[in-house]
Amino acid sequence: MAVLGRTLLLVSALMGLASAQTIRKNGQVVAADESTVAVAAENVNNELVLTDGVLAQLKSLELANVSLFDFPENLNSTYNDKRPLFTGCKTFPGDLLWPLQPVWKVFDLLTGGALIKTVPIGAVCYTNTDHYDADKCQEVLDHWTESATHADDPTSVMSPLFQGKTCMPQKGDNGTCELGGFPSYAINVSTVAQIQLAINFARNTNIRLVVKNTGHDFLGKSAGAGALSIWTHNLKAIEYIEHHSGCGYSGPAMKLGAGVEVGELYAAADKYGVAAVGGECKGVGVTGGYTQGGGHSPHSSIYGMGADQVLSVDIVLPNGRFITADKKHNTDIFWAVRGGGGSTFGVVTSMTVKVHPKTVYSGLTFYITTGNDSLANVTTPEFIAGLEAYWRRFPEYAAEGHYGYSSLYPRFDGQSGYTWEFHPWLAPGMNLTDFKKTLAPLLAEWKAVGFNVKPEFWEYDNFYEPWTSHFPTEAVANSDLRTGSRLIPAKNWEDPALLNQTIATLEDIMQTGALIMYNMVGKKQAGVDNAVHPVWRENLFYVIVGSSWTDDSTPAEIEEANKAITWNAGAKLRSISQGAGSYLNEADIAEPNFQQSFWGTNYDRLLSIKKQVDPWDTFWAPTAVGSEGWYITRQESWLETQNGRLCRK
């Protein structure tokens, strides 16, 4: 009793009693609620933002706790002297310093009711919770592998493994639903001001901050236990700029809100008669993790990376200030945010990107299987010969501007053999006659070695049609899968012995796991300098490897499958491409020496910019720039999830 009494006293002293907050209006002290507190925002250049003026007004009304939302320059030393309390871990729910309910209420009022307390997406399936709803549960289960299911939810992510799998809807009949690596609260953003309030609040209260757009991240970067999450998904504005000029570019451009997805961008570009650079999959967020992490595209071998298209960036910095960064203003941020990775330098609210004139596209798809049963199209030796003939020609196709996207996997039906599926091979700017001409030597060799493939060839006068007709819809939210990736540069083709070694390594890895293969280069664009790993400019083969298990696997098998990505397939790929790299957005979370792997020679400059703009470490994500100073408690040595407390090392 005594201990409890003292704890309560301390809590009250530190955070205020759990009574309603007040505001002084017309000389009267009244309750702070929707009728007395206006949303904290001011219209500046058609953007609702948080300004010193807005905060001063709230202070003059004596709104309780308003200093928790203030910019660092406006906080006096009394406040800043509290910072030494923040040297250990981020403040976690249940800690003495965790804001009490009335403080969250003020936050909700200032954001105009945008605060959402997290209910895990799977909770509706748990019979032992208040959220149980059989119909909604069935709906979640039916659409579980679709990206929109998770993008439309404030906190769901597409890599449940890294959330901790603590409320899987598939487990609803048994067990408990816990928050695990889901954030405690999310802000459903529709204005810049709400982002500023959230950043100031998280920084001033030492709470973990995460940013979630669609939740596609493969490493759990859009989740975090005990965090406040900024959910950018609903920032959907798209503006077409027919004649953009300035900063060394003159031509068509598009201004994209932070929530715009690849499919929405492509549809809009098609409507205006242009083509845009984005990923292959429709649900990925364009200006979120994709472009900030570099962004590879069906157009990369001609127009470069997603990050190479950016003309200007609107961003809220860790100090809560809203700025525009471009070639002339805030140039360090402009450089860093194009390739330096998401959730590191601030929250991007929109980007203006180049778009490209309409042109011709040709390409092919095929599906071929080996084995010694009736499903097989070719024998395994014929299959391997066909594959090698293709691999050896990579330099030529990347130089022609092509994008070769295919997967190779052991047969799913348990029979020995492999399947190779071409999602498409796309040749932007090339008509079918020229495409077939380019492929003629390969097709001849395939015929000669008995690789009996009959590809489907096609040609279109725009990008949107082949993209909607010949690209796959990808399943997401597999919780029993680890992936890693490697960028294999041109050097591996220049030395014949190294090329043979590269091929032997790929053939070794394909015995046990899938290879997702991209033949492309992140073509260097004249006059563009950004933080994208320089190895992309020499890349010929970007390969993703995967290792999976099942719900029936033993703990030892699960551990082995997880370790295999880092220490088996990963190690083999690193050994044939020393000094090259991996793609940070589709990487192994345990990638050794991730700083070199994800950014190469750009890392030191990125880290110094990070320290300068975010001395508080307001932003943190696993494997992000500057993340090495922190760790998450309660982890397996072979798997880091977001289900734990974030602490300084």
Ligand X SMILES: *[C@@H]1O[C@H](CO)[C@@H](O)[C@H](O)[C@H]1NC(C)=O
Ligand Y SMILES: Cc1cc2nc3c(=O)[nH]c(=O)nc-3n(C[C@H](O)[C@H](O)[C@H](O)COP(=O)(O)OP(=O)(O)OC[C@H]3O[C@@H](n4cnc5c(N)ncnc54)[C@H](O)[C@@H]3O)c2cc1C
Contact positions vs ligand Y (CB under 6 A)? 158, 210-218, 221-222, 232, 258, 279-281, 284-285, 288-290, 292-293, 295-296, 342-343, 347-348, 474, 476, 585-586, 621
What secondary structure, in 3-state letters, does 562-585 show?
HHHHHHHHHHHHHHHCCCCECCHH
| CB-nearer residue toward ligand Y: 119 or 487 | 487
Which residues make beta-bridge pairs with 544? 485, 516
Q: What are phi and psi of 187, to 5 degrees?
A: -105, 120
Using the rule CB under 6 A, which residue among 78, 511, 593, 637 binds ligand X?
A: 78
Rounded to whole angstroms, how far apart are CA atoms 325 and 313? 5
- Strand boundaries in 329-417, DSSP class E: 347-354, 356-357, 361-369, 403-410
CB 376 to ligand X: min, Å:
8
Indicate which of ligand X, ligand Y, none lies near residue 217 (CB less than 5 to 8 Å, by partner kind): ligand Y
Structural tokens at position 293: 């992490």
Rounded to whole angstroms, how far apart are CA atoms 69 and 50? 10
Provide the terminal-to-terminal Cα distance of the chain, rounded to the nearest Å: 35
Indicate which of ligand Y, ligand X, none lies near residue 79 (CB less than 5 to 8 Å, by partner kind): ligand X
Structural tokens at position 77: 């030393």
Rounded to whole angstroms, how far apart are CA atoms 115 and 34? 14
| CB-nearer residue toward ligand Y: 32 or 528 | 528
Q: What are phi and psi of 615, to 5 degrees?
A: -65, -15
Rounded to whole angstroms, how far apart are CA atoms 485 and 574? 10
**79 is a site residue for ligand X (CB under 6 A):** yes
| CB-nearer residue toward ligand X: 461 or 529 | 461
Site for ligand X in 345-404 (CB under 6 A): 366-369, 371-372, 375, 377
Region binding ligand X by CB under 6 A among candidate stretches 427-435, 437-445, 525-533, 575-583: 427-435
User: 450: how many CB neighbours lie within 10 A of its CB?
Assistant: 13
| CB-nearer residue toward ligand Y: 50 or 58 | 50
Which residues make beta-bridge pairs with 516? 407, 544
Site residue total, ligand X (CB under 6 A): 39
CB 48 to ligand Y: min, Å:
17
- Residue 326 CB-density burial (10 A; 0-12 exposed, 13-18 middle, 19+ buried): middle
**433 is a site residue for ligand X (CB under 6 A):** yes
**409 is a site residue for ligand X (CB under 6 A):** no
Indicate which of ligand Y, ligand X, none lies near residue 154 (CB less than 5 to 8 Å, by partner kind): ligand X
Segment 20-25 long-range contacts (CB within 8 Å, at least 24 positions apart): 20/102, 20/105, 21/63, 21/64, 21/65, 21/102, 21/103, 21/105, 21/106, 22/62, 22/63, 22/64, 23/61, 23/62, 23/63, 23/64, 24/61, 24/62, 25/61
Indicate which of ligand Y, ligand X, none lies near residue 190 (CB less than 5 to 8 Å, by partner kind): ligand X
CB 501 to ligand X: min, Å:
8
Q: Which amino acid is at 579?
A: G
| CB-nearer residue toward ligand X: 336 or 499 | 499
| CB-nearer residue toward ligand Y: 280 or 382 | 280
CB 116 to ligand Y: min, Å:
16
DSSP letter assigned to residue 40:
S
What secondary structure, in 3-state letters, does 450-466 show?
CCCCCCEEEEECCCHHH
Indicate which of ligand X, ligand Y, none lies near residue 284 (CB less than 5 to 8 Å, by partner kind): ligand Y
Region binding ligand X by CB under 6 A among candidate stretches 287-295, 348-356, 426-434, 563-571: 426-434
Structural tokens at position 621: 């994500």
Rounded to whole angstroms, how far apart are CA atoms 568 and 520? 25
**516 is a site residue for ligand X (CB under 6 A):** no
**Mask for 210-249, x = binds ligand X (CB under 6 A):** ------------------------x---------------
**593 is a site residue for ligand X (CB under 6 A):** no
CB 278 to ligand X: min, Å:
23
Residue nearest to ligand X (CB): 16
Question: Could you tell me which of 186, 185, 38 has the C-alpha nearest to residue 106?
Answer: 38
Q: Which amino acid is at 348?
A: V
Rounded to whole angstroms, how far apart are CA atoms 534 and 268? 31
Q: How far does CA 227 lie from the centroid of its chain?
A: 17
CB 180 to ligand X: min, Å:
18
Q: What are phi and psi of 497, to 5 degrees?
A: -70, -40
Stretch (H or E) spanning 105:
helix 101-110
Query: Hunting for tokens 């909700």 — which residue is that?
Result: 108
| CB-nearer residue toward ligand X: 331 or 416 | 416
Could you tell me if 573 and 543 are in contact, meaning their C-beta atoms sit under 8 angstroms apart?
yes
Using the rule CB under 6 A, which residue among 5, 27, 84, 496 binds ligand X?
A: 496
DSSP letter assigned to residue 374:
T
Could you tell me if 253 and 241 are in contact, meaning their C-beta atoms sit under 8 angstroms apart?
yes
| CB-nearer residue toward ligand X: 130 or 552 | 552
DSSP letter assigned to residue 368:
E
Site for ligand X in 94-123 (CB under 6 A): 99, 103, 116
Using the rule CB under 6 A, which residue among 145, 415, 553, 608 binds ligand X?
A: 415
**Mask for 262-301, x = binds ligand X (CB under 6 A):** ----------------------------------------
| CB-nearer residue toward ligand Y: 206 or 232 | 232
**80 is a site residue for ligand X (CB under 6 A):** no
| CB-nearer residue toward ligand Y: 294 or 513 | 294
**414 is a site residue for ligand X (CB under 6 A):** no
| CB-nearer residue toward ligand Y: 102 or 154 | 154
Region binding ligand X by CB under 6 A among candidate stretches 62-70, 86-94, 253-261, 509-517: 62-70
Structural tokens at position 607: 């880290």
| CB-nearer residue toward ligand X: 512 or 633 | 512
Could you tell me if 544 and 481 are in contact, meaning their C-beta atoms sit under 8 angstroms apart?
no
**Length of the chain (residues):** 649
**421 is a site residue for ligand X (CB under 6 A):** no
Binding site for ligand X (CB under 6 A): 15-16, 21, 64-65, 67-68, 76, 78-79, 99, 103, 116, 154, 171, 173-174, 188, 190, 234, 366-369, 371-372, 375, 377, 415-417, 431, 433-434, 453-454, 496-497, 500
